[in-house]
């Protein structure tokens, strides 16, 4: 099989709404994702709680039980809302998935009722009995539950370590902000705040929609036009900040835990060309892109210091981060090894074997992504957000043309910023 | 190599060819025309609970917990070249997994299926286990075990298993304890391999856009013909009642985490019946406690449960139990409420409309899970290791009646078969 040659059709069914269309009749399940982006402003606490409250029911389906029953009746469809930070924006994601209609009894359709269900959640939420915008009891309950979950996030030590690391590394940038603002901000929220946030979100959010699988994009396009067609004041999102660190920092924090969590962050300035962007991704893969990465081979396979160690590129922000679960006593050795391997890559570039191994792996992923709705959507949404809009075939051609010295040049863009460890008490 | 059966499954639209090698290895091939990726899953019914067995020679062997998992790691070491490197050069995604009763190895590739298949059957069938190689892996596996040790969900589940069972192997996590890992030697792993990794025990599932006859011809010289019989597994006799009513540990969590278990029958030997028991039990649990149920709505509104609550069925040939778990402020109240709700549901029984809606949703979930070649091969291997034909779960689900579910509901929540595990905050 070759590489996918095409890019998805991009439609603009409503002001500030872009729809990526990936109709794919081979798939058994279709999925629609809506990402509603706003700045990481003071309204983010309300939007975070709003996503929880909206899922408690609509005017038509007034309880979570009613909503679940409607989804079950649609042959096990799924619908969820979630919020978080996306780059330096605040994002509310609406996800909808359903079984392709060719598997349903003849003449059965579920798409219209599912789109209506989502529309009702967003536009006609369950109101309070006294005419208030939301049921006060529901707001109070969901607010308490959200605060509880925020307090409990420490229980997941690896995730909490990553959160702390990014907050410290990007302390004075929107990227370092908590997507829910603060516990105090959440605690102060009222039903009126949520209604204001809902109205602002629907009127002003910049929306990226992607539909993948056995579904007619015209139906989705028409629906988006119906829901969002009246808007005229869509928010302008700011460019992401990419400061250059003055010097490498080190922070160690302690929490009761067994395995220590190690993170090491690097920054890079905006690459001067699309080619260099690709070379940087390649360099990241050479360093720690999987079991073929240098760090995996040295830190795990040669020195047995970690079960896994990986490097991740956060392309919009211009970060490369390395993470591993280690014994706290191995911190210096692991950190030194990351420095050594990166310095070598910057000075000498990848070996011929590394070039071949990383290339074949990246090409295989590009060839294979046409088989997965999730991967297809992720690929094209990333291309869209980076303004690159490349087909897998075009990207593959570029990858195959990259030279070792370009990988080294890209690696030289990486500037160490913060080495971080969260561990149990170190004696 | 002989083709034994061709199964065309109407509901999923998939066709599987079943074949058997001269030495008894069972192979299933599923063609997926138009898909870019191909996948191979190779496994056997030998897992972490198989620590005591009698070799064909008559010798009785006992190995430490975690041996099956350690052996899985060692197979990835290869003989002359690491399996990481062999798959890495081919650009494939690969991994392995050890559960209580099975060990599996798999790859997915978008370009070099035959070469990957060659690597898969070669490294699983031709290991090199030496003391030096075993020693080298110890630090890596120890880090893997410690990675899970910080996870409250993982620790709590095994604490509940300790409460439910006195001697059963599922009391210990598949990777074993750190002490187990430190006590494993090459001879333990060689005994496991010699006792169970025999052609007649191996199952191979393949999915992709390939020629079935050609793949079978390619495989024939690559599959071992060793006729040595398998070792006999020896399991301890398990008392019929839980080992403890209530076990509690301190753990670094914010709020108490609670697991309630109910043992059911002592296990189901027949594959088809075991599958039916699993589906039936899962339906009952969803009817009793999922978000569409009256019980869930009531418990959620009263603040007894939150979104951390969940329940599932676990069972095999010699165990079967329900687990319900969640976070709470007061474990005793939580346990009392959940037990009362379970008993009330068992007494009242489900409603017909709920059963029909949920069955439809379960069907949609099963169909959706058969999307990619990777998912198909994984599902097919799971069926083979479960000793049932591929896709039988869809047929069995279709056969389950309302009366079956009503009857099963009365069996699942026996008070005398229940036990509790609690992780209390340590700070």
pLDDT in tens, A221-275: 999 999 999 999 999 999 999 998 989 999 999 999 999 999 999 999 999 898 9
Average pLDDT, chain A: 95
Tell me phi and psi for residue B247, to 5 degrees.
-120, 140
Interface of A with B in 177-216 (CB under 8 A): none
B138–A259 C-beta distance less than 8 A: no
* Amino acid A131: pLDDT: 83
Please say whether the structural domain A249-423 has been given the CATH code 3.30.830.10.
yes
Kindly tell me if the per-residue pLDDT of A386 is higher than 90: no
* CB-count burial class (<10 Å; 0-12, 13-18, 19+) for A269: exposed
Closest residue in chain B to residue A213, using alpha carbons only: B371
Q: Is the pLDDT of residue A427 over 60?
A: no
Listing DSSP states for B77-109 in one string gives T-SSS-HHHHHHHHT-EEEEEE-SS-EEEEEEE
Q: Are B395 and B58 in contact (CB under 8 A)?
A: no
Give the closest residue to A57 by CA, choosing from A5, A2, A152, A121. Answer: A121
Q: Is the pLDDT of residue A39 over 60?
A: yes
Place of tokens 């420490």: A154
Fold of the domain spanning A9-228: Cytochrome Bc1 Complex; Chain A, domain 1 (3.30.830)
User: Residue A1's pLDDT is what?
Assistant: 67
Token look-up 């009894």 returns A105
Arithmetic mean of pLDDT over chain B: 96
Q: What is the pLDDT of residues A91-102, one digit of tens each?
A: 999 999 999 999
What is the spatial distance between Cα A238 and Cα A407, in angstroms, rounded to a whole number?
A: 30
Cβ contacts of B139 on chain A, cutoff 8 Å = 304-305
Residue A237: Cβ within 10 Å count: 16
What is the DSSP code (8-state) at residue A258?
S
One-character DSSP codes across A78-107: EEEEEEEEETTEEEEEEEEEEE-GGGSSTT
Q: What is the structure's pLDDT at A129?
A: 85
Residue B73 has pLDDT above 80, yes or no: yes
Q: Taking residues A160-180, report their average pLDDT.
A: 97
Mean pLDDT of A293-321: 94
Q: Which residue has the tokens 């899953």?
A: B41
**Residue A143 pLDDT exceeds 90:** yes
Percentage of chain B with pLDDT > 90? 95
What b/e readout covers A241-268, taking b as 16+ CB neighbours within 10 angstroms?
eeeeeeeeeeeeeebbbbbbbbbbbbbb
CB-based contact (8 Å) between A250 and chain B?
A: no
pLDDT of residue B158: 98
User: For the ranges A414-423, B3-12, B306-315, which has the lowest average pLDDT?
Assistant: B3-12
Mutate to test the interface with A, among B368, B398, B426 (most CBs of A within 10 A): B368
The arithmetic mean of pLDDT across residues B266-279, rounded, is: 92
Q: At what angle do helices B131-149 and B152-164 cross, to 10 degrees?
A: 100
Region A309-336 average pLDDT? 96
- Is the model's pLDDT at A104 over the cut of 90? yes
Hey, are the CB atoms on B368 and A29 less than 8 Å from each other?
A: yes
Any idea where the domains of chain A sit in the sequence?
9-228, 249-423
pLDDT of B266 above 90: no
pLDDT at A78: 97
Same fold, A9-228 and A249-423: yes
Percent of chain A having pLDDT more than 90?
93
* CB-based contact B74:B184 (threshold 8 Å): no
Where on the phi/psi map is residue B257: left (φ > 0), alpha (ψ -120 to 50), or beta? beta
Residue of B nearest to A357 (CA): B89
Helix (H) or strand (E) holding A162: helix A157-169
A276-299 average pLDDT score: 95
C-beta atoms of A64 and B297 within 8 A: yes
What are the tens digits of pLDDT across the range B150-169? 999 999 999 999 999 999 99
For residues B265-274, average pLDDT? 88
- Per-residue pLDDT tens over the stretch B367-387: 999 999 999 999 999 999 999
* Across A112-140, average pLDDT: 94
Pick from B408, B278, B416: nearest CA to B346: B408
Interchain proximity A69–B143, CB inside 8 Å? no
Q: Domains in chain B, start-ordered, CATH in brackets?
A: 2-233 (3.30.830.10), 246-425 (3.30.830.10)
Place of tokens 């026996």: B414
Q: Which of B374, B290, B314, B422 is nearest to B109 (CA)?
A: B374
Neighbours of A344 (CB within 10 A): 16
User: Roughly how many angstroms between the first and final C-alpha of chain A, as a whole number?
Assistant: 56
The H or E element containing residue A18 is strand A17-23
Q: How many CB atoms lie within 10 A of CB A353?
A: 12
The model's pLDDT over B132-153, given as tens digits with 9 standing for 90+, comes to 999 999 999 998 999 998 999 9
Determine the residue of chain A that is closest to B360 in CA distance. A75
How far, in Å, CA of A293 to CA of A408, rounded?
15
Pairing of strands B14-20, B26-31: antiparallel
Which chain B residues contact residue A28 at CB under 8 A?
12, 367-368, 370-371
Burial A374-387 (b: 16+ CB within 10 A, else e): eebbebbbebbbee
pLDDT at A426: 66
């Amino acid at each position: 099989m070759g590489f996918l040659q095409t890019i998805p059709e991009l439609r603009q069914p409503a002001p500030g709404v872009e729809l990526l269309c990936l109709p794919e009749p081979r798939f058994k399940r279709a999925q629609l994702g809506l990402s509603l982006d706003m700045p990481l402003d003071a309204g983010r606490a309300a939007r975070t709680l709003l996503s929880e409250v909206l899922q408690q029911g609509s005017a038509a389906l007034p309880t979570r039980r009613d909503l679940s029953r409607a989804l079950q009746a649609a042959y096990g469809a799924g619908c969820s809302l979630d919020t978080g930070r996306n780059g330096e924006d605040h994002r509310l994601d609406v996800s909808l998935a359903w079984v392709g209609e060719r598997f349903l009894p003849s003449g059965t359709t579920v798409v219209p009722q599912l789109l209506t269900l989502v529309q009702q959640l967003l536009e006609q939420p369950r109101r309070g009995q006294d005419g208030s915008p939301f049921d006060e009891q529901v707001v109070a309950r969901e607010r308490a539950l959200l605060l509880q979950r925020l307090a409990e996030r420490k229980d997941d030590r690896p995730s909490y370590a990553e959160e702390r690391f990014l907050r410290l590394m990007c302390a004075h940038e929107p990227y370092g902000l908590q997507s829910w603002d603060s516990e105090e901000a959440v605690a102060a929220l009222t039903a009126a705040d949520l209604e204001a946030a809902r109205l602002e979100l629907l009127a002003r959010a910049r929306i990226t929609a992607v539909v993948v699988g056995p579904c007619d994009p015209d139906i989705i396009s028409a629906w988006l036009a119906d829901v969002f067609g009246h808007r005229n004041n869509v928010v302008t999102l700011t460019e992401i900040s990419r400061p250059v660190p003055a010097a490498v920092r080190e922070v160690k924090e302690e929490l009761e835990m067994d395995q220590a969590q190690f993170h090491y962050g690097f920054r890079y300035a905006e690459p001067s060309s699309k080619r260099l962007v690709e070379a940087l991704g390649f360099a990241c893969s050479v360093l720690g892109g999987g079991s073929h990465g240098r760090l995996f081979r040295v830190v795990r396979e040669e020195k047995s210091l970690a079960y896994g160690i990986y490097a991740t590129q956060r392309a919009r922000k211009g970060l490369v981060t390395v993470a591993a679960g280690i014994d706290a006593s191995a911190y210096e050795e692991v950190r030194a090894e990351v420095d050594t391997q990166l310095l070598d890559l910057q000075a000498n570039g990848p070996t011929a074997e590394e070039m071949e191994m990383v290339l074949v792996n990246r090409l295989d992923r590009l060839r294979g992504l046409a088989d997965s709705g999730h991967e297809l959507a992720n690929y094209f949404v990333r291309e869209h957000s980076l303004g690159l809009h490349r087909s897998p075939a075009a990207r593959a051609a570029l990858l195959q043309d990259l030279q070792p010295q370009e990988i080294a040049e890209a690696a030289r863009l990486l500037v160490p910023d913060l080495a971080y460890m969260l561990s149990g008490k170190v004696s | 190599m002989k083709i034994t059966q061709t199964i065309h499954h109407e509901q999923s639209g998939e066709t599987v060819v079943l074949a058997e090698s001269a030495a008894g290895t069972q192979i299933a091939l599923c063609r997926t025309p138009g898909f870019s990726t191909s996948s191979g899953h190779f496994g056997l019914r030998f897992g972490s609970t198989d620590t005591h067995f009698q070799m064909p020679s008559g010798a009785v062997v006992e190995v430490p917990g975690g041996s099956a998992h350690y052996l899985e790691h060692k197979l990835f070491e290869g003989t002359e070249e690491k399996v990481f490197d062999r798959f890495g050069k081919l650009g494939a995604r690969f991994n392995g997994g050890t559960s209580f009763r099975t060990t599996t190895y798999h790859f997915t590739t978008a370009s070099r299926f035959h070469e990957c298949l060659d690597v898969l059957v070669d490294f699983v069938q031709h290991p090199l286990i030496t003391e030096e190689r075993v020693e080298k892996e110890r630090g890596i596996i120890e880090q893997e075990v410690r990675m899970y040790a910080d996870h409250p969900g993982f620790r709590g589940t095994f604490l509940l298993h300790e409460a439910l069972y006195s001697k059963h192997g599922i009391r210990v996590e598949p990777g074993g304890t750190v002490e187990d890992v430190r006590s494993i030697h090459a001879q333990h792993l060689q005994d496991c391999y010699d006792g169970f990794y025999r052609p007649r025990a191996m199952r191979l599932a393949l999915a992709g856009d390939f020629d079935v006859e050609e793949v079978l011809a390619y495989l024939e010289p690559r599959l071992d013909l060793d006729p040595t019989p398998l070792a006999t597994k020896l399991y301890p006799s398990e008392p019929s009642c839980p080992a403890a009513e209530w076990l509690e540990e301190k753990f670094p969590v914010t709020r108490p985490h609670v697991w309630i278990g109910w043992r059911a029958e002592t296990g189901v030997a027949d594959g088809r019946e075991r599958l039916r028991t699993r589906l039936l039990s899962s339906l009952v649990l969803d009817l009793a406690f999922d978000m569409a149920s009256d019980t869930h709505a009531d418990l959620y509104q009263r603040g007894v449960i939150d979104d951390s609550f969940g329940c599932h069925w676990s069972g095999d040939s010699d165990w079967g139990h329900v687990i319900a778990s969640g976070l709470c402020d007061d474990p005793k109240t939580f346990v009392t409420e959940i037990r009362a709700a379970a008993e009330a549901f068992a007494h009242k029984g489900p409603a017909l409309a709920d059963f029909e809606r949920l069955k439809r949703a379960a069907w949609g979930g099963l169909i959706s899970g058969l999307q990619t070649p990777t998912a198909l091969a994984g599902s097919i291997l799971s069926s083979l290791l479960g000793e049932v034909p591929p896709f039988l779960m869809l047929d069995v689900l279709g056969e389950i009646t309302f009366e079956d579910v009503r009857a099963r509901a009365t069996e699942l929540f026996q008070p005398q078969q229940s036990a509790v595990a609690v992780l209390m905050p340590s700070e």
